Amino acid sequence: MFSKTFFPVLICAVTCCVTLAESSLVLGPNVTQPCVCLEHKLTTKKALMMLEENGGAGRIFLMEQRGIVYSFSPDFRNKKLFLNMTSLVEYDANNVDERGLLGMALHPRFSENGKLYTYSIRRFNHVLYAFVTELQEVSKHIDTSKEKLLMVIEQHNDRRNGGQLLFGKDGYLYIFVGDGGQDSSAQNMTSLLGKVLRIDINKHTVVNNQIRYYSIPEENHDVGGLGEIYAWGFRNPWRCSLDSGSSTGDIFCGDLGEGKQEEIDLILKGHNYGWSVKEGHLCVNQSSCNLTGPEGVPIFAYNHSEGHGAVIGGHVYRGQALRNLTGRYLFGDLFTKTYLHTIKRPVGGGQWEEDRLYYCDPGLCPCHAREAVGGDYVLSFSQDRQGEIYLLMTKSLHPRSTDDRLLKLVPPSHVHTVCTASSLYSYWTSLACLIIAITVNALFMEHSFVNDIILNTIVCRSK
């Protein structure tokens, strides 16, 4: 009864008639290396962040570098303009530009108080500044003329402006500032450039008879230098994230190197991350390699080789779909077009271990996740509240490039499958596959090649 052809038929029946099981990073047929598939969520224009509203309507916000934030319903539909800062921020829409609206964070109680924070580069009298401001949504409207100025940090040129904002597990706002184009500022404790800052935005203070819309946490005071400084010695932290799954509230950054090494840092209070004395693990100022303060040694650094050259910090994976990535820090490099990096802290300590995570051949992916990204640049990462990770990718660094995309990482299929235009059609195709396969098995029990033809060419596979 059960000939050797039964099993291919059974496989066919399972693969064609059962919706593909989402798996962890299992190597499917013809998958020889760990890979991820990409599901298109939104078409964007130089978007740098996706944020989710915690509570309320559960809106999704997409922040574009030119100074626009859109809101979407949780299903990524119903697009609305949420915030327009284009008249405030400095951004050249005709040239590749590092400036603009670079960071945004929602207050932990945003759904109740409507408060959000932005980091943007602005120009006054030919001088560039990083502005950290508080805005408030009232009755579904944000009046930018009522923004509260938290910080203004003068930049030396239009490069290395940092810009990440995030709330730590401690409830404080962390601000990630680049060296603003001046190497030496990162080691200068009287400058806010090249630093990770930490402030309490829930307590206002009065300084020189002027209200300051934040206070400095008591615990910052043993760091030294300006009170806002939490850690120092950064060149251009791009991008940084909180590992919401860690009990210690770990914060990771990618810090861009100059010409030798890119690095990933685990940010510790009061630590010196080296720049501009060190770049990655390398000493780049041979006359004085010694650092003041405890050294923040990169948890991972890599040389400029194989086309690498600009680290893009990511997130620790805490989702459900890609279980083999759980607890791994996933990041990229602007110039690495075919894979992402993941690093993992070994059990018991020691050097973090790296693995590459390739983009799957779309033919190995479920039908809803067959986006190809050959040659695209990854600009940034984002993470939803379920811990799943998204890429913000562009085909060109030029602001006028079209078809930038927000893509969700999803696992490859165990099997190949036919992708059709409609799920209804897919259903009937699958049913037809099952009937044909069973019929053929009954009629040609001894002729497995017939089944092979069915399996490989007609309905069941789509190689």
Q: Which spans of this chain sit near Ca ion (rule: CB under 5 A)?
A: 273-274
**Smallest gap from residue 281 Cβ to Ca ion (A):** 9
**Smallest gap from residue 298 Cβ to Ca ion (A):** 6
Q: Name which of 341 and 405 has its Cβ closer to Ca ion.
A: 341
Distance from C-alpha of 337 to C-alpha of 376, rounded to nearest angstrom: 6
Q: Name which of 162 and 274 has its Cβ closer to Ca ion.
A: 274
**Smallest gap from residue 129 Cβ to Ca ion (A):** 25
**Smallest gap from residue 340 Cβ to Ca ion (A):** 21
Q: Name which of 93 and 297 has its Cβ closer to Ca ion.
A: 297
Q: Name which of 272 and 451 has its Cβ closer to Ca ion.
A: 272
In this structure, what is the dihedral angle of CA atoms 182, 186, 191, 196, given to the nearest 10 degrees? Answer: 130
Q: Name which of 295 and 354 has its Cβ closer to Ca ion.
A: 295
Distance from C-alpha of 247 to C-alpha of 228, rounded to nearest angstrom: 24
C-alpha distances (whole Å) from 441 to each of 1, 10, 31, 375 are 10, 10, 28, 44
Q: Pairing relation of β-strands 195-199 and 339-344?
A: unpaired
Of 186, 132, 187, 134, whose CA–CA distance to 160 is shortest?
186
**Smallest gap from residue 295 Cβ to Ca ion (A):** 9
Q: Which two tokens stand for residue 184?
A: 């030496």
Q: Name which of 177 and 406 has its Cβ closer to Ca ion.
A: 177
Exposed, middle or buried, 399 (CB in 10 Å: 0-12/13-18/19+)? buried
- Tell me how many degrees the CA angle 66-359-416 measures, rounded to the nearest 5: 130
Q: Which residues of 344-363 are buried (b: 16+ CB within 10 A; e: fewer)?
A: bbeeeeeebeebebebbebe
Q: Name which of 243 and 265 has its Cβ closer to Ca ion.
A: 265
* One-letter amino acid for residue 76 of the chain: F
Of 409, 418, 402, whose CA–CA distance to 340 is shortest?
409
**Smallest gap from residue 233 Cβ to Ca ion (A):** 6
What stretch of H or E contains 14?
A: helix 6-17
**Smallest gap from residue 202 Cβ to Ca ion (A):** 31
Q: Name which of 274 and 319 has its Cβ closer to Ca ion.
A: 274
Q: Pairing relation of β-strands 339-344 and 80-84?
A: unpaired
Nearest residue (beta carbon) to Ca ion: 274
**Smallest gap from residue 45 Cβ to Ca ion (A):** 32
